[in-house]
Amino acid sequence: MHEEKIRVICNPASGGGDYDPDELKKLLGETEVEWILTEDEGDAERYAREWTEGLLVVAGGDGTVNEAVNGLGKAGFPENVTLAILPSGTGNDLAQTLAIPEEPEEAIKTVRDGRVREIDAARVESTHLKERYFVNVATGGFGAEASSMNDEEMKSRWGKFSYLRATLEVARKHEPRDALIVLDGEEKQMRAANVAVGNCRYAGGGWLAVPNANPEDGLLDVVVIGDLGLKGMLGIAPAALNDSFNYLDAEGVFHARAKEVRVETSPEGLAFTADGEVIGDEPVTFTVIPGALKVIVGADYTPEPDTGREP
Ligand SMILES: Nc1ncnc2c1ncn2[C@@H]1O[C@H](COP(=O)(O)OP(=O)(O)OP(=O)(O)O)[C@@H](O)[C@H]1O
């Protein structure tokens, strides 16, 4: 078992409150577990940033995990820190790629088993954002608008289906943009209804947005959904609910990999979110940081996607 210090950051608002501190301490078999409950936005980032050594367990949803990743990123991703996730949000998209079960006892077991991998992280930069990180997926376009629209009230009323509902609602009215996508310096001009930049594979509450992403390959995967129209959109819609439906080969869908991805759109910017959190609609650059984050993964984790399609 772990012989290191453990800090648990728990967001009671995202469901982390279901974890009983005493029970968790017992299950982790530790005498020294520091237990912190977040009270507001920014707490998880602050408590992660000051943690320079040992296991950092985050009990929360993707928003809380993203805050913790930003805290670690701003501290330079300390090499003696390992992140563990107890998924207790609505979407838990990152946990899905990392194969961490949602069931609390199973999730705690993965922490106890301690399979550590080094995954890539990504840095986001725009005129207003100087230092921002994500490890899962950034989306711009209808995916991001759907995430922003899907507020806490909708999440509590509709659960996981709130994401699908919001996506269909937004996709109906969304106007594609002219996009300049720059992949390691190479410019591509295209129409874009949605741009996903992924280190991991799931976004928007279980949608396989970036089917072929590999968190350990030192690259970001870019998937652009073009101006498909309603018929084209309906053609790729099964991907929202069915993991084995890989839509990268569909007409009007562009896929590439790069270390650095810049996105500029006109006449208006695409509103982007990273790990579900709003980052704005300015021209934006995403840069991979290979192997930056030590993270505990589940028993079924494989870095390569299993989608029945050649990478
Ligand atoms: N004690 C608290 N009470 C209310 N809100 C909090 C508290 N602590 C943190 N928060 C805020 O809760 C928000 C939601 O957290 P999180 O994203 O983890 O859960 P979720 O939205 O249910 O899950 P997901 O992002 O996976 O759908 C975060 O934006 C965070 O700032």
Answer for the pair 121, 251: CB distance below 8 angstroms, yes or no.
no
User: What are the residue ranges of helices labelled H in the chain?
Assistant: 21-28, 43-49, 62-74, 93-97, 104-113, 142-149, 152-158, 161-173, 229-236
- Atom of ligand 1 lying closest to residue 44 CA: 9
Cβ(91) – ligand 1 distance below 6 Å: yes
* Per-residue model confidence as pLDDT tens digits over 180-192: 999 999 999 999 9
Residue identifier of the C-alpha nearest atom 25 of ligand 1: 62
User: What are the residue ranges of helices labelled H in 188-277?
Assistant: 229-236
What pLDDT is attached to residue 263? Answer: 96
For the chain, domains (ranges, CATH) are 6-113 (3.40.50.10330), 124-289 (2.60.200.40)
Answer for the pair 301, 117: CB distance below 8 angstroms, yes or no.
yes
CB burial string 108-122: b at 16+ within 10 A, e below: bebbeeeeebebbbb
Entry pTM: 0.90
Pocket test for ligand 1, best of 19, 46, 64 (most atoms within 8 A of CB): 64
* ipTM attached to this prediction: 0.94
Report the pLDDT averaged over residues 249-267.
Answer: 92
Report the pLDDT averaged over residues 260-274.
Answer: 90
- SS3 of 239, please? helix
What pLDDT is attached to residue 30? Answer: 62
**Residues linked to residue 186 through DSSP beta bridges, in sequence order:** 183
* Per-residue model confidence as pLDDT tens digits over 59-80: 999 999 999 999 999 999 999 9
